[in-house]
Chains A and B, each alone.
Chain A
């Protein structure tokens, strides 16, 4: 069975600085997908970034990038130039291809301070 672990329940960062959120996972699969979802106080789940395990290149989306280390089963999220609107709960998630079932970590609550 797959598991996803986020070991940082809470983090804070100053506005305009960079922060990295950690995620590790356990699987025996070779092909899979990894996601970071953002959940602001509105409760809506918003996809931030997606990584395909067979791609070595790390995914980037504007200020968001990942450090994907397949051998170490690590998938961290880096947020550059943090903005107040980045304040949210962030979830790391794993999915097997075409399975549709997401396995989530416990979440990291990020506060961006002015």
Chain B
């Protein structure tokens, strides 16, 4: 019963490096999203997707790219990491129908440090 799986759990990057945070879910959820968590600011939405091939920006999208080629996977790409992207990143997924009660399920998070 995997749920939402995020990899890696921890990552240290140097400024200017690129990397991809992976997110996969095995619950056949249409909706997937990425949040970042910073002290005193709660979680803020970066990008989201309502299905394969469909993505859109959230509140803080700058510096991040996403794509959704399959229902199961929703990777988050940092093209040129900056110290301001040091944060904890969460992936979430859910079904957007009334029977699913609009509940979003979260991965365990990735702690990213950009030096």
| A residues lining the B interface (CB < 8 Å) | 4, 6, 9, 33, 35, 42-45, 47, 50, 91, 95, 97-107
Contact = CB atoms under 8 A, between A and B. Distances in A.
B48 A47 contact: no
B101 A50 contact: yes
Contacts of A91: 42-43
Interface residues of B, number: 27
A33 B109 CA distance: 24
Contacts of B96: 98-100
Contacts of B33: 100-102
Given A43-B88, A98-B96, A100-B48, A106 B41 contact: yes
Contacts of B77: none
Nearest to B109: A43
B43 A95 contact: no
Contacts of B108: 42-44
12 contacts: A4-B42, A42-B108, A43-B88, A44-B106, A44-B109, A95-B102, A95-B104, A97-B98, A97-B102, A100-B94, A101-B48, A102-B35
A99 B44 CA distance: 15
Given A98-B97, A100-B31, A47 B45 contact: no
| Main SS at interface, chain A | loop
A103 B31 CA distance: 15
B31 A50 contact: no
Contacts of B44: 104
B113 to A, nearest CB: 15
Contacts of A103: 45
Interface string B73-109: 0000000000000001010101011100111101011
B40 A9 contact: yes
Contacts of A6: 42
Contact of B42 (A33, A44, A107): A107
B102 A98 contact: yes
